[in-house]
Structure formats: C-alpha cells, structure tokens
Chain A
C-alpha cells in the first residue's frame, strides 16, 4: 500500500510563531486532505488539496503532486491551534480509501 510520512512528529511553538508541517507520500494520489484533531478528539477538515495551493485565514497548504509531498503552513500560531495534524491520501486506483499518516502533534504555548 501507499506510505504516508509526516514530519516533524512533535512540535512546540510559542504563540505567534510560524510553522511548516510536511507530508511525504510514496505513490500518485487522487486525493489529499489535511485534518486537525483537536484535544477533544474531533477531526476537522482543513484542506482538500491533491495539487496546488490553497489558503484559509492563517493556514495555507501546498501539494506538489509530481514530487509527492504536501506542506501545511500555520502562521501567527494560537493556543487553539494545538492538537494533532494529519495528512491523508487516496492512492490512484484505491477506490476512495484514505491512508493516514501518523500525524504531527503541535503544542502552542501562551
């Protein structure tokens, strides 16, 4: 199956700092999604981004499909950004099944 690797595994930031999270995947994909899992366990959709660049407020994401990686940028971090960020991909011909990375755990300190 497809391999999905996220880095760094853990990240501690001071409030107001910027960060970049990376997702590498081992095969061509139809779908790539970024999620934020908050401290209560809920999964929140951040981006659907199989290619290109998108921005939503302080968050933006870029996927370079030909080089098999995606980046999630968090600017001016806030304590509410804390949690785990997951990248999930659907390999071409896998029939709509997402494979998740193991996540980046982010803690933003006030």
Chain B
C-alpha cells in the first residue's frame, strides 16, 4: 500500500465551485505539505504544516486554505475555483525527528477548472 495517498486522483470542476483535495499518510511523519505543479514547471509550495496546530503559508497560498485534521491527514480547499488553478497538486510528508528531512510525495491530483 502507498505510504502517501491522495484523493481524488482526477477532478474536473467548474469555475466558482468549492473543491477539497485530501491527503493521508501512514509514514508517521509529523510534517505535511501541499504543492502545485503547472505544465512544464517545477513544484511550488502552497501551504505546509509542522504539526496539527501549526499551519503556514507557502509561496502561492492565495485562493487556497488547508486543514490538518490529524497528524496523518492534511486537506487542501479551493473555496471558489478559477481556471488558472488548473494544475497537478501534490501532497508531501517529512519527519522532523529523523536524521534526514527528506520529503516523500503522494501520487498527485490532476485538477481541471473549466
């Protein structure tokens, strides 16, 4: 079974709709992240959470919100989706207590906003 899972894997929605993307992990890591990837580009950080009570904005947080419901769950919401939020979204985790702060990524959610 995958250590980091994302649901849904693909989603098509319309402008103005509210969308939630979910991420779950079984790695026992305390840190979780949301990134987006636009075609032909690298990933950009949207939000990150170092524990359940700690939420921080990344480079491109406008238009997004997050919720860390438990150590293993981190969800990303688009309150009112717009077409330029069409992208591939990745969740990632890392372990602050380990020797390495290596990040591990989920399989991605492909979101299309019409």
Report which A residues bind B (CB closer than 8 A). 1, 4, 30-31, 33, 35, 41-43, 45, 48, 86, 88, 90, 95-98, 100-103
Contact, CB under 8 Å: B110 / A41: yes
B4 to chain A, nearest CB (A): 10
Query: How many B residues, CB 8 Å from partner?
Result: 26
Contact, CB under 8 Å: A100 / B43: yes
B43 to chain A, nearest CB (A): 5
CB closest chain-B residue, reference A103:
B42
Contact, CB under 8 Å: B103 / A42: no
Q: How far is the CA of A1 from the CA of B42 in the complex (A)?
A: 15
Interface-side segment among B61-69, B73-81, B94-102: B94-102
Which of A30, A35, A88, A98: most chain B CB closer than 10 A? A98
Contact, CB under 8 Å: A48 / B100: yes
Contact, CB under 8 Å: A101 / B42: yes
* New A-B pairs, 13, CB < 8 Å, besides A96-B101, A103-B41: A1-B59, A30-B101, A31-B101, A41-B88, A41-B107, A42-B107, A48-B102, A86-B42, A96-B94, A97-B58, A98-B33, A100-B42, A103-B42
Report which B residues bind A (CB closer than 8 A). 31, 33, 40-45, 48, 50, 56, 58-59, 88, 90, 94, 96, 100-105, 107-108, 110
Interface pairs A-B: 8 shortest CB-CB: A100-B42, A43-B105, A48-B102, A100-B43, A102-B42, A41-B108, A42-B107, A48-B100
Q: Given contacts A43-B90, A43-B105, A43-B108, is CB(A98)–CB(B45) below 8 Å?
A: yes
Contact, CB under 8 Å: B100 / A42: no
Q: How far is the CA of A13 from the CA of B96 in the complex (A)?
A: 39
Which of A1, A45, A97: most chain B CB closer than 10 A? A97
